[in-house]
Amino acid sequence: MNILVCISKTPDTTSKIAFTDGGTKFDENGIQFIVNPYDEWYALVRALELKEANGGKVTVISVGDASNDPIIRKSLAIGADEAVRVDAADTDALFVAQQIANYAKENDYNMILTGKETINYNGGQLGGMIAELVGLPYVAMATKLDLAGDTATIEREIQGGSEVLEVNGGFVLSAAKGMAEQRIPNMRGIMAARSKPLNVIAPSGGEAHTSVVSYELPPAKAECKYIDAENAGELIALLHNEAKVI
Amino acid sequence: MSIVVFVSNTKGKINKAGLEAICYAADVAKNSGDSVTAVTAGSLEGDGGAGAYGASKLISGASVNPSDSAQVTNMVSAVISDEGASMIVTSHDNDGKQVAPRLAARLNCGMVTGVTGLPDTSAGFTVKKNVFSGKAIAQVSITSDKKILALLPNSHGLHEHGGTAEVSEWSGDAGAASVTVKEVKVEESNVVPLPEAELVVSAGRGMKGPENWGMIEELASELGATTACSRPVSDIGWRPHHEHVGQTGVAIRPNLYIAIGISGAIQHLAGVNGSKKIVVVNTDPEAPFFKAADYGIVGDAFEVVPKLIAAAKAFNASK
């Protein structure tokens, strides 16, 4: 069983977000970068569990420059067998999807897993785009993935609940919370990761149709208005008369 | 020309996020002189409300499996071609997330998801979207002729445009099934799903245990609100995962978010700071959440919440 897991580099979840160059660039000063949590905690860990149960190989792929290498090594330390980095800027989802789809077409994967979105761009586009480009079924927002032979059973979030789908043969999915539990790499994994293959390949065509023009921060909040706990019930009147939300 | 809006439908009805996407498209169309054509998989009751919110046509594909992203993409791309549409709008809800990226790859066009405002066409074509899980807003340019916009639920609002949509059945071939639906688990409830909810009552570890959620549910029910929770509470299994709001859970934009016993870690704030009004109840006056709050009550949830329930009951009785 060969599984391809797409990973992206994102700022740590506790990062304070700021911009430079007149609001056109993300300020990386003092920022710790991590593997996008949805890619790591859910997609990668579930891929490793399936490999451990069924045998095979887990390959991680990331589109970006050499600054992505530490998060790629982290994925190898957690247990991925090998890694591929497409040496190109990851500014447009369709461009990134084209790189990964082109690589996937030349190799034989039983499934391609991504996180449901990155925590920096919040696009949620990559998995569906790859599925279309390689011509496979796509399931978004998956919370469970089980295999029996060539048949995958996938549970996904839908409005007000969930649905269980069955897919035969290859597929692409985006993983949401619930699919697996985070794994902390141990020392042996970290040592082993150093000698696992990380192949850097050149981009293969594709064009970007979108670009970020500028960033801004949300408007600052007004002062908090405190209500005495003894008279907490006054809140309801304030919400009705002043905030006008109920 | 027309703007094509893909909407999901639940049991014959277009969801609120879908109606909002139609309303958004109708507001774009008002400026550009286009018309709005809504398209959905499965069947609808009448026009499903599409007309009232601005669609002049509604095309439904009764034979198309709404859970099959390949079939839905085949139908929507055929409708886009028939209508000669260059703009496609959908909600950034669970069904939109499954279909819109396939469409963008099929049409080889630019797409922006999580859109929070109308397009700016003063220089090229740009739209605003939420980034960094709500901690910032980006202005994104699309340069392809065809464009796909996936609207963040609760970011445009609903207002009626009036009218009814001409309903027709899609007669094309959606192709072979790529998935089979084995089971659908949707709880029968009158509660608005969290991503679409306008009023949300949320609680965290300050509640001390799952057995104490009765008062949270009662307050939510009195206010007509949906319940939510913080990450630790869903991680330890006190509440279901789908209630977890925050950076790695659901990001929401309700009119009112009441946070009870949640300290307000930066990851939690990321998921809720699009809320119009935030109320924080916490025993710790130094809780970081108060900095993001419009109204604050420093006090014990077990004393404060019953007072809020009583006041909400009195308020409901006076309506």
Instruction: Kindly list the distances between the CA atom of residue A123 and the CA atoms of A233, B6, B18, B36, B131, in Å, as whole numbers in the listed order.
Output: 41, 18, 19, 25, 8
- Place B249 in a pLDDT band, splitting at 50, 70 and 90: confident
pLDDT mean across residues, chain B = 95
> CB-CB: which of B140, B298, B308 is closest to A235?
B308
- Chain A residues in contact with B260 by the CB 8 A cut-off are none
- Percent of chain B at pLDDT > 90 equals 87
Residue for token pair 């405190």: A226
Three-state DSSP class for B292? Answer: helix
User: What is the pLDDT, as a whole number, of residue B191?
Assistant: 81
- Place A161 in a pLDDT band, splitting at 50, 70 and 90: confident
Nearest-angstrom CA–CA distance, B24 and B87: 12
Nearest-angstrom CA–CA distance, A147 and A178: 16
Q: B100: which 2 tokens?
A: 């819109």
pLDDT at residue B32 greater than cutoff 90 = no
- Chain B residues in contact with A120 by the CB 8 A cut-off are 131-132
Q: B119: which 2 tokens?
A: 């397009």
Residue for token pair 């790189």: A99
Nearest-angstrom CA–CA distance, B112 and B96: 12
B272 neighbors B259 (Cβ within 8 angstroms): yes
User: What is the pLDDT, as a whole number, of residue B315?
Assistant: 96
Interface test with A, best of B19, B69, B300 (most A CBs within 10 A): B69
User: B98 and A129 in contact by Cβ < 8 A?
Assistant: no
Nearest-angstrom CA–CA distance, B144 and A217: 27
Q: Residues 173-202, chain A: which have Cβ within 8 Å of B?
A: 174, 177-178
B110 neighbors B142 (Cβ within 8 angstroms): yes
Residue for token pair 């497409």: A86
pLDDT at residue A245 greater than cutoff 80 = yes
> CB-CB: which of B114, B179, B295 is closest to A224?
B295
pLDDT tens digits, one per residue of B7-16:
998 888 899 9
CA-closest candidate to residue B268, choices B157, B282, A115: B282
Task: State which amino acid sits at residue B170.
Answer: W
User: B181 and A224 in contact by Cβ < 8 A?
Assistant: no
User: What is the pLDDT, as a whole number, of residue B190?
Assistant: 75
Nearest-angstrom CA–CA distance, B246 and B318: 35
Nearest CA in chain A to B244: A177
Phi and psi of A75, rounded to 5°?
Answer: -65, -35
Average pLDDT rounded to a whole number, residues B278-302: 97
User: B249 and A177 in contact by Cβ < 8 A?
Assistant: yes
pLDDT at residue A171 greater than cutoff 80 = yes
Q: B66: which 2 tokens?
A: 């709404």
- Chain A residues in contact with B98 by the CB 8 A cut-off are 128, 138-141
Nearest CA in chain A to B198: A245
Nearest CA in chain A to B138: A215
Q: B254: which 2 tokens?
A: 């309700």
> CB-CB: which of B111, B276, B312 is closest to A245?
B276
User: B131 and A240 in contact by Cβ < 8 A?
Assistant: no
Nearest CA in chain A to B224: A246
Instruction: Calculate how close chain A gets to B278, using CA atoms only, in Å.
Output: 9
User: A160 and B135 in contact by Cβ < 8 A?
Assistant: no
> CB-CB: which of A41, A120, A232 is closest to B131?
A120
User: What is the pLDDT, as a whole number, of residue B110?
Assistant: 98
- Place B17 in a pLDDT band, splitting at 50, 70 and 90: very high
Taking phi over 0 as left and psi of -120 to 50 as alpha, with beta for the rest, B140 belongs to beta
Q: Does A27 touch chain B (CB under 8 A)?
A: no
User: What is the pLDDT, as a whole number, of residue A157?
Assistant: 92
Q: Which distant-in-sequence residues (6+ apart) come within 8 Å of B303 by Cβ?
A: A229, A232
Report the relative pairing of strands A225-226 and A82-86 from DSSP bridges.
unpaired
DSSP state of B213: T
- Chain B residues in contact with A125 by the CB 8 A cut-off are 100-101, 104, 111, 113
> CB-CB: which of A124, A157, A227 is closest to B113?
A124
- Chain B residues in contact with A179 by the CB 8 A cut-off are none
> CB-CB: which of A157, A178, A215 is closest to B136?
A215
CA-closest candidate to residue A79, choices A239, A189, A244, A205: A189
Give the sign of the dihedral formed by CA B245, CA B250, CA B253, CA B254: negative
Instruction: Calculate how close chain B gets to A242, using CA atoms only, in Å.
Output: 11
Nearest CA in chain B to A92: B110
**In the β-sheet with A151-158, what is the strand arrangement from edge to edge?**
A198-201, A82-86, A57-63, A2-6, A111-115, A171-175, A138-148, A151-158, A161-168, B180-186
Interface test with B, best of A112, A171, A239 (most B CBs within 10 A): A239
Instruction: Calculate how close chain B gets to A102, using CA atoms only, in Å.
Output: 13
Higher pLDDT, A72 or B189: A72
Phi and psi of A82, rounded to 5°?
Answer: -155, 165
User: B185 and A164 in contact by Cβ < 8 A?
Assistant: yes
Between chain A and chain B, how many beta carbons pairs sit less than 8 Å apart?
286
- Place B87 in a pLDDT band, splitting at 50, 70 and 90: very high
User: What is the pLDDT, as a whole number, of residue A220?
Assistant: 82
- Percent of chain B at pLDDT > 70 equals 100
Instruction: Calculate how close chain B gets to A203, using CA atoms only, in Å.
Output: 17
User: What is the pLDDT, as a whole number, of residue B251?
Assistant: 87
Q: Does A53 touch chain B (CB under 8 A)?
A: no
CA-closest candidate to residue B268, choices B287, B296, B295: B287
pTM: 0.94
Q: Residues 85-124, chain A: which have Cβ within 8 Å of B?
A: 92-94, 97, 116, 119-124
pLDDT tens digits, one per residue of B109-141:
999 999 999 999 999 999 999 999 888 999 999
User: B136 and A137 in contact by Cβ < 8 A?
Assistant: no
Q: A229: which 2 tokens?
A: 């706990």
Q: Residue A151: in which H helix or E strand, if any?
A: strand A151-158
Give CB contacts under 8 A, 24+ apart, made by A190-196.
A190/A77, A192/A76, A192/A77, A193/A73, A193/A74, A193/A76, A193/A77, A194/A73, A196/A76, A196/A80, A196/A81, A196/A82, A196/A83
Q: Which distant-in-sequence residues (6+ apart) come within 8 Å of A225 by Cβ?
A: A238, B294, B295, B296
**In the β-sheet with B199-203, what is the strand arrangement from edge to edge?**
A225-226, B295-298, B277-282, B256-260, B199-203, B226-229
DSSP state of B62: T
pLDDT at residue B282 greater than cutoff 90 = yes
Q: B308: which 2 tokens?
A: 């809020």
Nearest-angstrom CA–CA distance, B269 and B246: 6
Nearest CA in chain A to B277: A243
DSSP chain A: -EEEEE--EEE-TTPPP-EETTTTEE--TTPPEEE-HIIIIIIIHHHHHHHHHH--EEEEEEES-GGGHHHHHHHHHHT-SEEEEE-S----HHHHHHHHHHHHHHS--SEEEEES--TTT----HHHHHHHHHT--EEEEEEEEEEETTEEEEEEEETTEEEEEEEES-EEEEE-TTS-------HHHHHHHHHS-EEEE---S----EEEEEEEPPPPPPPPEE--GGGTTHHHHHHHHTS---
pLDDT at residue A28 greater than cutoff 90 = yes
- Place A123 in a pLDDT band, splitting at 50, 70 and 90: very high
**Dihedral angle, C-alpha B97, B101, B107, B111, nearest 10 °:** 90
Give the ipTM.
0.95
Instruction: Kindly list the distances between the CA atom of residue B186 and the CA atoms of A73, A156, A157, in Å, as whole numbers in the listed order.
Output: 40, 12, 10
Q: Which distant-in-sequence residues (6+ apart) come within 8 Å of B157 by Cβ?
A: B20, B23
Q: Residue B216: in which H helix or E strand, if any?
A: helix B214-223
pLDDT tens digits, one per residue of B170-225:
999 999 999 999 999 987 777 888 988 999 999 999 999 999 999 999 999 999 99
Nearest-angstrom CA–CA distance, B41 and A196: 46
Instruction: Find the range with the poorest average confidence among A168-177, A236-245, B152-161, B243-252.
Output: B243-252
